[in-house]
Each structure stands twice: as structure tokens, then as C-alpha cells.
């Protein structure tokens, strides 16, 4: 029989940065963590300074900061080189009119330019708005339009997906290429950099509450909302990087997410660099071979990914694992969706390591529920509250539940990583705080007598496919734009590989026939205009949709229960797979 508790002894040979969880819960305070940063001495701060420049000042300029791999191509940047590059880019942005507080959208593939753009934006006190590289026109438009973005940096390929005519607010589009690769109204970033001369440090000093970045995220209603974080998140991100990622000075750290998702910003850039790790960036799409090869090539020691990715690696076969030297790995973590016990046992058997689940959300800014390397893991649980974080399970009236009883997962607010605002949407921000002093996550969970939290589902209609959050409304709106679709209801359908897949129930307009060709066309319509990860993998045609009697709203709940026993109507090819998992 399999063990229900996995002891930390498996990680022997390495003393974790935190060895006594209970002691930390009793004694740790966020003020302690804050003392790490320049703020405590100068009352001014900047995330980019703490991630890069500070390490150069401390004598680590020669240390590799970024190891980029794409196929056979590799390149390493030291902290000194990154300081130089981000200084140059920051100066260039400033010369082009970007000021403190302005949003700069960053629409780039997972390459060094993307990371440099993020840090350079932050360095001058502007707000970084990373966009996922698989976004299509509609997804790009919704986000830039919502906050009337004025600046965007992108590359020649992705620039084609920026609908300039619908985005009058967009003043400048910088393209990371020479003028020959730019369209009429685009500005060659190569030319600009060639003319940029850095004098002195471009760092803009800000206070802890100054806006840092914006991530659009989906909910169960409406279009995606802009979650704005503040520089103070560094306190939370540093401390979780130190204790949960367990970063030490010789670590080679790889988080597989693209910066367009919050994990790809917080735990692929900020948290590891605040802890002075060497980070690995593996360009290109998901591919089991290339992932194992990246670990071997870079000598990855700490690895943070998502359950769908682990399930895909597991499905690629044990024989493949044996072909690579993965012996440098010492600590593995997961986030974004439920981590099945099966996958944890696979990790133990194939990698010789426990996979440490973590829970947080775009809005929370950093991890809140964690499995620490020094602590026992209960497969099926997301772990226990991070020291300094107060978690409760509440019923519908805000009353605390007894251990074992399912309720709303709530967190005592505030904490340093908590979002600063929802972009120009005070009402949405307030909706997270229905019970005074408590942030409501929208997740349902229970806590056992030892404090371990077990995820049970969402209390709303939000879909989680491959760890990516998808709002049904966004997909329904897009479906309705297709000429053949009269009505649409979109839900998550349980799926062994991706956790859930997006499933659409539609009613066709008169005169349209339910054919596989039409359904495939509708699917591709969403995929090419919105994004691959949001395109329904299954579409089912109904004569009518179930609706509430009074308001006529679509009953997604009912559609969800119909899912279980049905045969898929179309089963899309797996070509979407590489964009659907965190990169
Ligand atoms: C939602 C947040 C910031 C992390 C990446 C996702 C789900 C997150 C887990 C986990 C089960 C999880 C929750 C949460 N989720 N981590 N370990 N186990 N579910 O961030 O896109 O803002 O989504 O992802 O439902 O509310 P996100």
C-alpha cells in the first residue's frame, strides 16, 4: 500500500533554509523579512534593483543570472550583463516617453528580451504588463483596451496579432528588430537601442505601495480583470523563494511558466532573482524530450512546474526519464491545479523526489499554502499555511468550519503580496472581501486537524485547464460572434490529463447543420481569435440551453452535470497542447 504521509527524509543530504515550521509560525513576522531590502535603510525601493543591481553591488556581477536554452542554442547572461542591458532598455523606454506609473505591455516569447523588458520597465517605475505569447487578437485587444495602454513592446511575429485599428490609445509599438522588419506604424527597438547612451543609473526609486505589474485574469463573469501588484510584494516573494523554493547560492532554478501568467513573473523572475539564483529559460513549446534535456544541460537543481506538465511527462513514459541525467535535481514543486497523489508517487519513483504542491492565486501575489522541504507531505493536500498567513475555512455566513468540513477558503487580509487594486474596478476588488477582514479565494476546501488544506473545487464557474484560468463568459462571447452560433454555454469538463477541458454547448442558428466540419470551424474561430488555451476542445450542439426561469441566465451548473457520461463530439487534435501548459 502507498504511504499516506511522505516524510521529508527523502530529501536528505540537503538542509533546508527553514527547518522548523512550527517555530517559524510562532515567531516569524513580515517586518523581519522587510529588513532585507533597501527600504528599511533609505525608505525607497525598486524591485529591479533588488533583483539585479543589488547583486552586482554586492560583488556577484560575474554570477550567471539567466541561462537561455532553445534547442541546440544556449546563452548565459551574468548579473552584470543584465544590469547593463536593463539600464540600457530602461533609459530607452524613458527617452521614448515612458514615465513612472505608465503601463508597458510586453508581448514577447519566452526569451531573454522578455525578461529584460520586464525588469527595464520596472526599473523606471513603470508597470509591466506581460501578455502570454499564445494570445490572439481578441485577448490582446481586451487587455490593452481595458487600461487604455499607450506602450507595447513585441516582436515582428507577435506584432501581427496586435489590432492597432481597435486600439487608439496605443501610441507606440516597439518591435525588437531592425527597421526592415517593422510595419509602418511600428518603431524599431534595435534602432532605438543603438542610439541609447546610459548616463548614471536609470533606477526610479518608489515606495513600497507603488504599482509594479498588472496581470489580467479571468473570473466566472465578464472579461478578464487587471490585477495590479505593488513593489511591496517583494517581501512575500523573497521569503517564499527562500523557504518554499529553498533557494541557495549554488542553485540553478527553472520555473516553466511564461511571464504572461503570474507564476511566470513571480516565481520565474522575481522570487528567484531576489534570492540571487541562476534562472533557466527554456524557449519553444512543451516537449518531454526538450524539458528533460533542459534539466540536464543547465544542471537544474530546483524545478517549479504544474500538474498537467508532470502528467504529460509521466505519460511520455519512464523509459524517457532514464535517457537523461536528472541527478542534479534536488527540489521539485508544483502549482496551479490539483496535484494528484499518483503524480507525487511518480515523482518519488522516477525522480527520487517528492513533488511539493503550493497554492496561491494571481490576486494573492505569492504562495500562501505550501509544502516546505522540511515537512511531511500528505498526498492530496496542498500543504499548510505559510508562516505569517492565517487561513480559515468559512461557511456561507462567514463562520469558521470545524476540521474536515468543506467551506470557503479564506485568508486574513492583508499580507505583503496581496494585490493593490483591480484596475479601475473598485467594486470587483471589494467583492473579494465579503466578510470583514477576510479575502475570499473562491475555492472550496477543508483543513484537517494538522492544518493541511485539501482543495475541493471552485464555488463559481471558473474553469481550470492545465493550470490556466479560463472565464466561461469570454469564450461564450467569442462563440456568439460566429455566424452559426445562436447561444453558447461553456463549462469545464473533468479530464485526466488537463484537470479540466473547455467544453461548449451551443445552439445553432436556423439553417445550419450540425456537422463535424462546422464544429471544427467554430473551434478554430475561437482558437485563432482568442487563444488556443481557451478554445473548446469539445463542442456539443443542443436544441436549447437550460436557463433560469426568471432571468433567463444560462444554467452552467446543469450543463456541467451533463458532461460526465457523454461521448465527446469533437476531440480536437493535440496541437494546442504546447500552448495550453505553462511555458
Ligand atoms: C486558482 C488560481 C498563481 C498560481 C497559478 C494559478 C487553482 C492554484 C492550486 C493547487 C488546486 C490550485 C485555484 C485557484 N489552484 N493552485 N495547488 N491545487 N488548485 O493562478 O490563474 O490565478 O488561478 O488556481 O482554483 O483559485 P490563477
| d(C-alpha 59, C-alpha 374), whole Å | 31
For residue 468, how far is its CA from the centre of ligand 1 (angstroms)? Answer: 8
**What is the atom index within ligand 1 of the atom nearest the CA of 266?**
3
Tell whether 345 and 380 lie within a shared domain. yes
pLDDT per residue over 21-34, tens digit each? Answer: 999 999 999 998 88
Mean pLDDT of the chain: 93
As a whole number of angstroms, the longest Cα–Cα distance in the chain is: 72
Calculate what percentage of the chain has a pLDDT beyond 70.
95
Q: 31-83 pLDDT, tens per residue? A: 988 888 888 788 899 999 999 999 999 999 999 999 999 989 999 999 999 99
How confident is the model at residue 70, as a pLDDT? 94
Q: Are residues 420 and 497 in the same domain?
A: no
Q: How confident is the model at residue 583 (pLDDT cuts 50, 70, 90)?
A: very low
Of all protein residues, the one whose alpha carbon is nearest to atom 17 of ligand 1 is 359
Does one domain contain both 122 and 186?
yes
> Pick from 442, 473, 490: which residue ends a domain?
442
Mention every residue, 6+ apart, whose C-beta is less than 8 A from residue 333: 244, 245, 302, 303, 304, 305, 355, 356, 357, 358, 371
Q: Is 262 in the pocket of ligand 1 (CB under 6 A)?
A: yes
Whole-model pTM: value is 0.94
Same domain flag for 167 and 310: yes
Q: Using a 6 Å cutoff on CB, does residue 331 contact ligand 1?
A: no
Is 376 among the domain residues?
Answer: yes
Q: Ligand 1 centroid to 480 CA: how many Å?
A: 28
User: Is 14 within a domain?
Assistant: no
Q: 301 CB less than 6 Å from ligand 1?
A: no
Q: Are strands 225-230 and 211-217 parallel, antiparallel or unpaired?
A: antiparallel
Q: Give the model's confidence band at 373: pLDDT under 50 very low, under 70 low, under 90 confident, else very high.
A: very high
**Is residue 57 domain-resident?**
yes
Where residue 430 sits, what CATH number does that domain have?
3.40.50.12780
Residues 476 and 367 occupy one common structural domain: no
Q: Are residues 359 and 491 in the same domain?
A: no
Q: Do both 55 and 173 map to the same domain?
A: yes
What's the pLDDT score for residue 11? 52
Shared domain for 481 and 344, answered yes or no, is no
Which residue, 483, 465, 467, 457, is CA-closest to 536? 465
Closest CA to 452 of 21, 74, 130: 21
Domain boundary pick from 380, 412, 442? 442
Q: What is the DSSP letter of 451?
A: S
The mean pLDDT value for 456-472 works out to: 94
SS (H, E, C) 214-225: EEEECCCCCCCE
How many domains are contained in the chain?
2
pLDDT in tens, 226-277: 999 999 999 999 999 999 999 999 999 999 999 999 999 999 999 999 999 9
As a whole number of angstroms, the distance between CA 116 and CA 134 comes to: 20
Q: How far is CA 357 from CA 72, 271, 544, in A?
A: 32, 17, 41
User: Using a 6 Å cutoff on CB, does residue 270 contact ligand 1?
Assistant: no
Per-residue pLDDT averaged across 135-160, rounded? Answer: 97
Q: Does the residue 10 lie in any domain?
A: no
146 SS3 class: helix
Nearest to 252 by CA among 288, 218, 280: 280
For residue 526, the enclosing domain spans: 463-565
**pLDDT (tens digit per residue) in 283-294:** 988 899 999 999
Query: What CATH number is associated with residue 517?
Result: 3.30.300.30
In a domain, 363, yes or no: yes
Of 75-89, 215-229, 456-470, 561-575, the poorest mean pLDDT is in: 561-575
Which pLDDT band holds residue 9 (cuts at 50, 70, 90)? low
From 337, 366, 581, 582, mutation site for ligand 1 pocket: most ligand atoms within 8 A of C-beta: 337
Atom of ligand 1 nearest to the CA of 462: 25
Which one of 409, 442, 475 terminates a domain? 442
My answer on whether 171 and 57 are in the same domain is yes
486 or 570, which is more confident: 486
Q: Are 410 and 392 in contact (CB under 8 A)?
A: yes
| Residue whose C-alpha cell is 523573497 | 238
Contact of 229 with 420, CB cutoff 8 Å: yes
Residue 5 maps to a domain:
no
* Pocket lining: 441 vs ligand 1, CB cutoff 6 Å: yes
Q: Whose CA is nearest to atom 3 of ligand 1?
A: 361
| Band (551; pLDDT cuts 50, 70, 90) | confident
Residue 374 lies in a domain: yes
Do 367 and 508 fall within a single domain?
no
Residue 86 lies in a domain: yes
User: Is residue 533 within 6 Å of ligand 1 at its C-beta?
Assistant: no
Nearest Cα residue to atom 20 of ligand 1: 361
* Atom of ligand 1 lying closest to residue 363 CA: 22
428 and 478 co-located in one domain: no
470 lines ligand 1 (CB under 6 A): no
Q: Which residue has better confidence, 322 or 219?
A: 322
Please choose from 333, 338, 359, 471 the residue to mutate so as to test ligand 1's pocket, defined by most ligand atoms within 8 A of CB. Answer: 359
* Separation of alpha carbons 420 and 397, rounded Å: 26
Determine what percent of the chain is predicted with pLDDT higher than 90.
Answer: 89
Residue 524 has pLDDT above 70, yes or no: yes
Q: Are residues 209 and 250 in the same domain?
A: yes
Q: How far apart are CA 128 and CA 121, in angstroms?
A: 6
Amino acid at each position: 500500500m502507498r504511504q499516506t504521509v511522505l516524510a521529508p527524509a527523502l530529501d536528505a543530504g540537503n538542509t533546508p533554509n527553514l527547518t522548523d515550521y512550527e517555530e517559524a509560525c510562532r515567531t516569524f513576522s513580515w517586518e523581519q523579512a522587510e529588513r532585507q531590502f533597501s527600504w528599511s535603510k533609505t525608505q525607497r525601493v525598486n524591485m529591479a534593483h533588488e533583483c539585479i543591481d543589488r547583486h552586482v553591488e554586492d560583488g556577484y556581477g560575474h554570477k550567471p543570472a539567466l541561462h537561455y536554452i532553445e534547442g541546440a542554442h544556449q546563452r548565459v547572461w551574468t548579473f552584470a550583463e543584465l544590469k547593463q542591458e536593463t539600464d540600457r532598455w530602461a533609459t530607452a523606454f524613458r527617452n521614448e516617453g515612458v514615465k513612472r506609473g505608465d503601463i508597458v505591455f510586453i508581448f514577447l516569447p519566452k526569451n531573454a528580451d522578455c525578461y529584460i523588458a520586464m525588469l527595464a520597465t520596472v526599473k523606471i517605475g513603470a508597470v509591466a504588463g506581460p501578455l502570454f505569447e499564445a494570445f490572439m487578437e481578441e485577448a490582446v485587444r481586451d487587455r490593452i483596451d481595458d487600461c487604455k495602454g499607450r506602450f507595447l513592446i513585441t516582436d515582428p511575429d507577435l506584432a501581427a496579432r496586435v489590432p492597432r485599428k481597435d486600439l487608439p490609445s496605443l501610441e507606440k509599438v516597439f518591435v525588437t528588430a531592425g527597421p526592415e522588419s517593422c510595419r509602418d506604424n511600428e518603431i524599431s527597438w534595435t534602432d532605438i537601442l543603438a542610439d541609447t547612451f546610459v548616463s548614471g543609473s536609470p533606477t526610479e526609486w518608489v515606495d513600497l505601495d507603488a504599482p509594479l505589474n498588472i496581470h489580467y485574469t479571468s473570473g466566472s463573469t465578464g472579461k478578464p480583470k487587471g490585477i495590479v501588484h505593488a513593489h511591496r510584494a517583494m517581501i512575500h516573494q523573497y521569503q517564499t523563494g527562500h523557504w518554499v523554493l529553498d533557494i541557495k547560492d549554488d542553485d540553478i532554478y527553472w520555473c516553466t511558466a511564461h511571464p504572461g501568467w503570474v507564476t511566470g513573473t513571480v516565481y520565474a523572475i522575481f522570487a528567484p532573482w531576489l534570492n540571487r539564483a541562476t534562472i533557466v529559460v527554456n524557449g519553444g513549446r512543451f516537449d518531454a524530450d526538450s524539458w528533460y534535456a533542459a534539466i540536464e544541460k543547465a544542471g537544474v537543481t530546483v524545478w517549479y512546474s504544474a500538474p498537467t506538465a508532470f502528467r504529460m511527462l509521466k505519460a511520455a513514459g519512464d523509459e524517457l526519464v532514464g535517457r537523461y541525467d536528472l541527478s542534479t535535481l534536488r527540489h521539485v514543486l508544483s502549482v496551479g491545479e490539483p496535484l494528484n497523489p499518483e503524480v507525487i508517487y511518480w515523482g518519488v519513483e522516477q525522480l527520487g523526489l517528492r513533488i511539493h504542491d503550493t497554492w496561491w492565486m494571481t490576486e494573492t501575489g505569492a504562495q500562501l499554502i505550501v509544502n516546505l522541504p522540511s515537512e511531511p507531505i500528505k498526498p492530496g493536500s496542498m500543504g499548510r499555511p505559510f508562516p505569517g498567513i492565517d487561513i480559515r475555512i468559512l461557511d456561507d455566513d462567514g463562520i469558521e468550519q470545524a476540521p474536515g468540513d468543506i467551506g470557503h477558503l479564506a485568508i486574513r487580509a492583508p499580507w505583503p503580496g496581496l494585490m493593490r487594486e483591480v484596475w479601475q474596478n473598485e467594486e470587483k476588488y471589494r467583492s473579494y472581501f465579503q466578510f470583514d477582514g477576510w479575502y475570499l479565494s473562491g475555492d472550496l476546501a477543508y483543513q484537517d486537524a494538522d492544518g493541511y488544506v485539501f482543495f475541493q473545487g471552485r464555488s463559481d464557474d471558473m474553469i481550470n485547464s492545465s493550470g490556466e484560468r479560463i472565464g466561461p463568459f469570454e469564450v461564450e462571447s467569442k462563440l456568439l460572434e460566429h455566424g452559426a452560433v445562436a447561444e453558447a454555454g461553456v463549462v469545464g469538463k473533468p479530464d485526466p490529463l488537463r484537470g479540466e477541458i473547455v467544453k461548449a454547448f451551443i445552439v445553432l442558428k436556423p439553417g445550419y447543420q450540425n456537422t463535424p466540419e462546422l464544429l471544427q470551424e467554430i473551434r478554430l474561430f475561437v482558437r485563432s481569435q482568442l487563444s488556443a488555451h481557451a478554445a473548446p476542445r469539445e463542442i456539443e450542439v443542443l436544441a436549447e440551453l437550460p436557463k433560469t426561469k426568471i432571468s433567463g441566465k444560462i444554467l452552467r451548473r446543469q450543463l456541467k452535470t451533463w458532461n460526465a457520461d457523454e461521448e465527446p463530439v469533437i476531440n480536437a487534435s493535440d496541437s494546442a497542447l504546447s500552448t495550453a501548459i505553462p511555458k
